[in-house]
Chain A
Amino acid sequence: MALLPPPENWDKEKPSKDEKTWVYIALLSCLFMFFWMIGWHIFGKQNTSFVSYKVNPMEFFQLYNSFVEKYKIGEKNGTPVVKPPPESDVILLARMWSWSPILVLEKDKWYTFHISSLDLQHGFSLQPVNMNFQVIPGYDHVLKFKPTKEGEYSIICNEFCGIGHHLMIGKVIVIAEGETPEKYLGEIKTEKNDFAEKGYFNQAGKINPE
């Protein structure tokens, strides 16, 4: 009786058989759903990461610079194209409003991604497989990925990061062993393959994008 006080003995009344049955079914399905999540950590292939580090954006930027310098194979639309060896660490940098570098990965090999931001929060959204992770400045989000299919993938940003948010898009190319990424990217060769992006931070360590 929603608007009036309940009957005197409401806490002694026995619930009906159908309601009781439903409560038990509901409870069992709740427990089942809970233990399923734990089970997926043991048997499933898609789980979130146990590892992340605090990182200073400036340090992360240096990591990025040396990573790109080491493995760069070309450039596309002004973004370096990088092919790290399988099983290695991969640095992916988010900032307003780009993802870099463009990564060339081999199918069925594990890579340890380190994803962080230099400025605001961003959203790592890998399409079309539709895998989404949060990217937060000051935190190195460590995720081990194994691409399962060849092809061209996009990383779009799905956390609002200012007026240019919808321009923020990067690429990941997955190839079979021994193949080259030109099939997806077209010409990527540049005259000089050395790389060092400078001037993003001023001397005080503050961001200075120009």
Chain B
Amino acid sequence: MFRKCDITGFEVDKRGEALIKVNAVFAVIFFLVAIIAAFFLVLTRHPTIHLLPPHLYYRFLTLHGWNALLFWIIFFEIAGLYFGSTVVLNSRFSSPPLGWLAFFLMLGGALLINYTILQGKADVLFTSYPPLKAHWLYYLGVLLFAIGALLGVILFFANLVVAKREGKWERSLPLFTFGLLTAAIIAVVTLVSGAIIFIPTFLWSLGIIDKVDPENYRIIFWGVGHPAQQINLAAMISAWYLISYLSVGGITPSEKISRLAFLLYIFFINLASAHHLLVDPAVSPAWKVFNTSYAMYLAVLGSMIHAYAIPASVELAQRKRGYRGIFAWLAKAPWGNPAFSAMFISLVGFGFIGGVTGVMIGKEQTNIIHHNTLAVPGHFKGTVVIGTTLAFMGATYYLIPLIFRRKIVLYSLAKVQPWLFGLGIAILAISMLALGYLGVPRRHYDILFSNAPFKHEFNPAMWFFWTLFVIGGVSAVLGALLWILIVVLSVFFGPKLKGPEDMQIPIVLPPQEEKKNPSHSSILCPGTLTLIFIFFVWFMTYFFLNWKWLSATWYVK
């Protein structure tokens, strides 16, 4: 049942490993679907290129949303959950048959959703706000997928219990698994909300119930939609800690504070449903203010802690190896290791683009100048794409040799891939944010209003950003396709990995502990402290700019 990994020394349950593989492989397949759709979307949204006709634009947008935001990420996360609860703990998979059941439920749901969308029976976009109605098979697909994912998450908990009972861990889980535990707890709340709202919606699509209240739907739907992104957040941060550990032997400066930051997520992050309802009728400003800020931004605090702890883990390890000066640790970091570069680009991109814009879009009043503009997808390109997706891409460079036991094919291109994808998405996200500030709506086929009864002309500065949009979008698509190519070639056709000598990207052990305990009165990580200070200045600048822009609009109350 077990094989002993000759590289990491872990005891690997082969039945669990098969499940990790199959979930990861299907994640990549759905990612490919999402990327093909994205290519057409980029070239359609540009107001003068307009590659697709309107109905196909909205259809591809629906397809892209589901495959990129849900299928790719959740299949990959299930693989990650199984990895963190079996391999990392040297433990066995609690119930492989149920693991397969979860997989087939998710797969069935995903195929059903994609099928109805491509048939043109669900042109409702990812949010499917009633009274907009799709074919009932679509809602059935959503339910199957959610139930499958819920089962997968439950198996993660079961694996932890089994491991504990069999003495594989005692008092505390490894930080990586602890982060995944956070993600899993958020996932349960999320998926249960999903069931609560999609069951009546499913019945409504069958004509069994008469009506789904559109506002109630929004409140509960975003109890799924937004926390689903917080699962991604927790999983991404776990992947950052993992990659820092594997690539430079990085250890968080304080286990206590890093774990506290994860706890803050568990307690507060599910309030974020409000982010999508800030300019809705029917919910009061008091409710909005409390919920949108996760009760005084305590979940944001969690993220700011990780934003310090991850680079600090790299800096600490590098300093122990003798790199002095403020940034020598960073300059001499293993940039040739695609997992490390992916992790670092992901970290910086998430913080500077995704995180900061998220806070400002999510403020009750400044949401007025953002809601449903292109700035919103611009923001989540900065979180779930440059953040989560790129972090997962980085983790895959370790997954291929360690789990699939293959060498990475086209390794020299793999070194470039995180840059191509990461910089592409960064340019795309920034251009979308800028277009959003000019008022350009999201999910809109024709902002020139060619066939509309009235015209509206946006600020001509938009043409500059539309050019950037295409440049960024196309580079990101190329970066993603390159990654898919590398993964598929390696996993299915790559040379078999014979042993540690075949590892192209090294696993770096933590440096030897210095004899003298570091004193707590001195500054341990001057480089990270400088970086985080630059981040803080940018954050506050962006904060006040937004209020300035808001105050230039009409008065409203």
**Is B288's CB under 8 angstroms from A18's CB?**
no
**Is B175's CB under 8 angstroms from A1's CB?**
yes
Question: Is residue A192 contacting chain B, with contact meaning CB distance below 8 A?
Answer: no
Question: Is residue B185 contacting chain A, with contact meaning CB distance below 8 A?
Answer: no
Given contacts A4-B174, A19-B253, A19-B257, are A130 and B449 in contact (CB under 8 A)? Answer: no
In angstroms, how far is the closest chain B Cβ from the Cβ of A133? 5
**Is B281's CB under 8 angstroms from A140's CB?**
yes
Interface of B is mostly: loop
Q: 8 Å CB contacts to B: which residues of A1-26?
A: 1-7, 10-11, 13-19, 22-23, 25-26
Note all chain B residues with C-beta closer than 8 A to A139.
214-215, 281-282
Chain B: interface size category: 35 or more
Question: Is residue B241 contacting chain A, with contact meaning CB distance below 8 A?
Answer: yes
Question: Is residue B458 contacting chain A, with contact meaning CB distance below 8 A?
Answer: yes
B255, B369, B521 — most chain A CB neighbours (10 Å) = B255
**Is A30's CB under 8 angstroms from B551's CB?**
no
Q: 8 Å CB contacts to A: which residues of B297-346?
A: 297-298, 300-301, 304-305, 308-309, 312
Question: Is residue B396 contacting chain A, with contact meaning CB distance below 8 A?
Answer: no
Q: 8 Å CB contacts to A: which residues of B514-557?
A: 518, 520-526, 528-529, 532, 536, 539-540, 543, 547, 550-557
A19, A41, A158 — most chain B CB neighbours (10 Å) = A19
Q: 8 Å CB contacts to B: which residues of A120-150?
A: 120-121, 123, 125-134, 136-148
Q: Could you mark each residue 127-166 of chain B with 1 if its beta carbon is under 8 Å from any beta carbon of chain A, else 0?
A: 1010110000000000000000000000000000000000
Q: Which of A33, A128, A143, A146 contacts B439 (CB 8 A)?
A: A128
Given contacts A46-B368, A46-B551, A48-B278, are A16 and B253 in contact (CB under 8 A)? Answer: yes
In angstroms, how far is the closest chain B Cβ from the Cβ of A164? 8
**Is B532's CB under 8 angstroms from A22's CB?**
yes
**Is A163's CB under 8 angstroms from B372's CB?**
no
Question: Is residue B289 contacting chain A, with contact meaning CB distance below 8 A?
Answer: yes
CA of A140 to CA of B282, assembled, Å: 9
Question: Is residue A69 contacting chain B, with contact meaning CB distance below 8 A?
Answer: no
Stretch at the interface among B226-234, B358-366, B417-425: B358-366
Question: Is residue B501 contacting chain A, with contact meaning CB distance below 8 A?
Answer: no
**Is B453's CB under 8 angstroms from A163's CB?**
no
**Is B58's CB under 8 angstroms from A160's CB?**
yes
Chain A positions within 8 Å of B, measured between CB atoms, are: 1-7, 10-11, 13-19, 22-23, 25-27, 29-31, 33-34, 37-38, 40-41, 44-50, 52, 77-79, 98, 110, 119-121, 123, 125-134, 136-148, 154, 156-163, 165-171
A4-B174, A30-B298, A46-B553 given; name 9 further pairs at CB < 8 Å. Answer: A15-B253, A15-B257, A26-B304, A77-B454, A130-B373, A138-B214, A145-B554, A145-B556, A146-B554
Cβ contacts A to B, 22 pairs, < 8 Å: A3-B242, A4-B174, A5-B174, A26-B301, A30-B297, A37-B293, A37-B364, A40-B547, A41-B289, A45-B555, A47-B364, A48-B278, A123-B372, A127-B456, A127-B458, A129-B554, A132-B367, A134-B279, A134-B281, A166-B447, A169-B449, A169-B453
